[in-house]
């Protein structure tokens, strides 16, 4: 469950091996994510992404055959950033309070850098077969990590899988709503969300 979300067979023409090529791909993905959040799926063009990234269109096409492949890679990167927060917490020997603070802070950080990206990825991008597989892999590990979070908190309530779904949805809902409202970095939002998570978990310990 700790591996990265794998790329589908047709999503990338080749994998970057050297530091320079990895930097090129990272610049392309960052530019693509920025443009996607700004203008939406329909208005994104690979030419514009290459321009923002400061690379030639030929360099972009060395790695991504088309816009769909590029956006799938952006989706995988975004999902892995979210999962990395949960993976780090899962591997730490911390109190419930400390793990909850890290969880909330991590989700705020990931979504605060590009607050519109998650919504665009989920709502605007056409769901190809390979992209659906990416979503399924993400969802499986995402809920599994929340299940582990509850297990380490000695959860004794209802079915833990159901509780993991409720807890993850509650956190995501608050974070996404705050991002839309421009209050994601509010200290009050962060403090109250931590309190909500702790109250939910503690009442079934």
Q: pLDDT tens-digit profile of 148-191?
A: 999 998 888 778 999 999 999 999 999 999 998 999 999 999 99
Over the chain, what is the mean pLDDT?
A: 91
Domain interval for residue 68: 19-202
Contact 99, 89 (CB under 8 A): yes
69: in domain: yes
Segment 191-201 shows an average pLDDT of 97
Q: What is the pLDDT of residue 128?
A: 87
Residue 1 has pLDDT above 60, yes or no: no
d(CA 175, CA 28): 26
10: in domain: no
The percent of residues above 70 in pLDDT, for the chain, comes to: 94
25: in domain: yes
Helices 160-181, 187-202: crossing angle, 10 deg rounding: 170
Residue 4 has pLDDT above 60, yes or no: yes
d(CA 107, CA 5): 18
1: in domain: no
d(CA 19, CA 104): 32
To the nearest 10°, the Cα dihedral for 47, 52, 55, 59? Answer: -40
Give the confidence band of 74 by pLDDT, cuts at 50, 70, 90: very high
pTM of the model: 0.87
CA nearest neighbour of 123 among 41, 46, 178: 41
At residue 37, φ and ψ (nearest 5 deg) are -70, -30
Q: Which residue has the higher pLDDT, 115 or 164?
A: 164
41: in domain: yes
Tens of pLDDT, residues 10-35 = 567 778 778 898 999 999 999 999 99
Question: Which CATH number goes with the domain that contains 100?
Answer: 1.10.357.10
Tens of pLDDT, residues 32-66 = 999 999 999 999 999 999 999 999 999 999 999 99
| 13 CB-contact burial (10 Å; exposed 0-12 / middle 13-18 / buried 19+) | exposed
3-state secondary structure of 116: coil
Q: What is the number of structural domains in the chain? A: 1
3: in domain: no
The percent of residues above 90 in pLDDT, for the chain, comes to: 72
Segment 72-99 shows an average pLDDT of 94
CA nearest neighbour of 133 among 10, 2, 43, 37: 10
Q: What is the pLDDT of residue 173?
A: 94
């Amino acid at each position: 469950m700790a591996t990265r979300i794998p790329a589908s067979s047709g999503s990338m023409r080749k994998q970057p091996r050297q530091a320079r090529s990895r930097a090129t791909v990272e610049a392309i993905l960052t530019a693509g994510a920025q443009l996607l959040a700004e203008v939406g799926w329909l208005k994104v063009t690979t030419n514009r992404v290459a321009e923002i990234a400061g690379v030639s269109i030929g360099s972009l096409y060395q790695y991504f055959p088309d816009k769909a492949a590029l956006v799938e890679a952006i989706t995988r990167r975004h999902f892995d950033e979210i999962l990395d927060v949960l993976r780090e917490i899962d591997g730490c020997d911390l109190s419930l309070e400390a793990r909850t603070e890290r969880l909330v802070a991590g989700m705020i950080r990931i979504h605060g850098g590009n607050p519109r990206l998650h919504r665009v990825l989920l709502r605007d991008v056409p769901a190809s077969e390979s992209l659906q597989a990416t979503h399924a892999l993400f969802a499986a590990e995402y809920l599994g990590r929340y299940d582990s979070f509850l297990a380490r908190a000695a959860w004794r309530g209802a079915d833990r899988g159901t509780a993991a779904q409720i807890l993850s949805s509650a956190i995501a809902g608050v974070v996404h709503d705050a991002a839309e409202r421009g209050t994601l970095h509010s200290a009050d939002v962060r403090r109250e969300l931590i309190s909500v998570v702790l109250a939910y978990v503690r009442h079934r310990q």
